[in-house]
Amino acid sequence: MTIDPVAKLRHLLQVLAFCLAIATIQYAFLPERGYGVQLAYSLCIGIITWACIDFPRHLLPSAAETGWPQGLAGVALVAAAIAIGYFVGTALGDVLCRALGLYVGPRPDPVVQARQSVLITALAGIAGSYYFFSAARRGHLERQMSETRRHANEARLKLLETQLEPHMLFNTLANLRALIALDPPRAQQMLDHMIAYLRATLDASRATTHPLQVEFDRLRDYLALMAIRMGLRLAYELVLPPELATQAVPPLLLQPIVENSIRHGLEPQLQGGRIEVRASREGARLVLEISDSGVGQSEMVGGSGGGGFGLVQVRQRLETLYGEAAGYDFESAPGKGARTRITLPLSLGA
């Protein structure tokens, strides 16, 4: 049996509010008894009834969805708790009213008073029990929906990633094919790097996220591959502050953006260019920036700056994993290179 003290305290506060409401309603119809008397009886009966239901139900076989006993056991528990709450609560309320001198005016007819009290206790006990039962069932359904959404998002992310990995592989193989005809020794060196890169990628690709340090390591391997083909025409710099190394990011988040910068920004230039990847922190957000000194491109004229397959995948994965909490901005102009900025919420403890 596991009892959540925070949940019990929340239930108690709700019961106190319920008792306060009942006492107020009773006082509105029977003001001659005094509000203090109504409140004392309501609190005593209500708290005892709640305690006799909400704690013993953990001792009985209960439904996993609600935590409440099913069938006749549940009905018997509520009925017994209401009876105990009425008799014990009434006696305790009477003692409390006498001790505090709350009785004012002539005493009401005991038969009429008992009839009203039994009716109110039964209705309030049933209503309160149904409220807590419904709240438990609603909480279970909400948890199920949240879990279903999480599984659906994970499946979508894996689908996007399985589409992205072959995309990167085919592009790299196309580069390798071109290099084989021009420079076989460098092509062999590039192939060795690609094998090492794919081997490192295989272990990490089974997770939805991985540390930013791993993403930068894989990015460094990829840039080393591209440097073999482009030689001195490609310069690059990766900047990752140590305090951000453990931040979780989707695998292959940055590689499509870097690949896009090389393919459409640096390769068209005879002299090549430079690409920089930086991670930084702005308040509670992780900022990832990829900038290049390439020819620049225009998203508006149909270039691949924002609409290429890899970049569409990046945007979809960010939307699936972070929703509106993630930001993606792309800036470029002819002759001025390109700059992509991604912002993500920082993990706790960073």
Residue 317 falls inside a structural domain? yes
Same domain assignment for residues 126 and 154? yes
Residue 350 falls inside a structural domain? no
Residue 333 falls inside a structural domain? yes
Strands 285-292 and 338-345: antiparallel
Q: How many helices (H) and strands (E) does the chain have?
A: 9, 7
- Distances 17 to 35, 36, 43, 139 between C-alpha atoms, Å: 15, 15, 9, 21
Vertex 173, ends 171 and 177: CA angle to 5°?
A: 120
302: left (phi over 0), alpha (psi -120 to 50) or beta: left
Among the three residues 106, 126, 161, which one is the final residue of a domain in this structure?
161
The b-or-e profile of 264-278 (16+ CB within 10 A means b, else e) is bbbbeeeebbbbbbe
Among the three residues 139, 161, 183, which one is the final residue of a domain in this structure?
161
Strands 273-282 and 234-239: parallel
Residue 323 falls inside a structural domain? yes
Give dist(CA 31, CA 36) in Å, integer. 10
Which amino acid type is present at position 298?
Answer: S
For the chain, helix, strand, coil in percent to 5 are 70, 15, 20
Same domain assignment for residues 171 and 150? no
Same domain assignment for residues 219 and 296? yes
pLDDT along the chain (350 residues), means of 10: 82 92 88 86 93 88 82 90 92 90 74 83 90 88 82 66 63 75 78 74 67 90 82 92 92 86 86 93 94 75 53 82 89 86 78
Residue 101 falls inside a structural domain? yes
DSSP 8-state assignment for residue 334: T
Question: How many Cα atoms within 13 Å fall on the side-chain side of residue 83?
Answer: 6
Same domain assignment for residues 85 and 43? yes
> Residue 329 sits in which domain range?
166-345
Q: Alpha-carbon torsion 192, 183, 228, 265, what sign?
A: negative
Same domain assignment for residues 146 and 185? no
20-25: long-range contacts (C-beta < 8 A, 24 or more apart)? 22/46, 22/120, 22/124
Q: By C-alpha distance, which of 276, 270, 279 is closest to 293?
A: 276
Number of CB atoms found within 10 A of residue 336's CB:
12
**Number of domains forming the structure of the chain:** 2
Among the three residues 145, 161, 177, which one is the final residue of a domain in this structure?
161
Q: In this structure, what CATH number is given to the domain that contains residue 330?
A: 3.30.565.10
Beta strands in the chain (DSSP E): 210-211, 234-239, 248-249, 273-282, 285-292, 327-332, 338-345
Same domain assignment for residues 211 and 224? yes
Same domain assignment for residues 116 and 200? no
Q: Alpha-carbon torsion 189, 259, 313, 328, what sign?
A: positive
Residue 13 falls inside a structural domain? yes
Give strand pairing partners of 273.
234
Same domain assignment for residues 156 and 172? no
Give dist(CA 186, CA 102) in Å, integer. 97
Same domain assignment for residues 296 and 233? yes
Same domain assignment for residues 98 and 182? no
Are the CB atoms for 285 and 346 separated by under 8 Å? yes
Rg over CA atoms, the chain: 34
Same domain assignment for residues 334 and 186? yes
Same domain assignment for residues 20 and 95? yes
Give dist(CA 23, CA 132) in Å, integer. 20
- Distances 329 to 119, 216, 326, 338 between C-alpha atoms, Å: 65, 20, 10, 11
pLDDT of residue 300: 39
Are the CB atoms for 86 and 118 separated by under 8 Å? yes
pLDDT of residue 302: 43
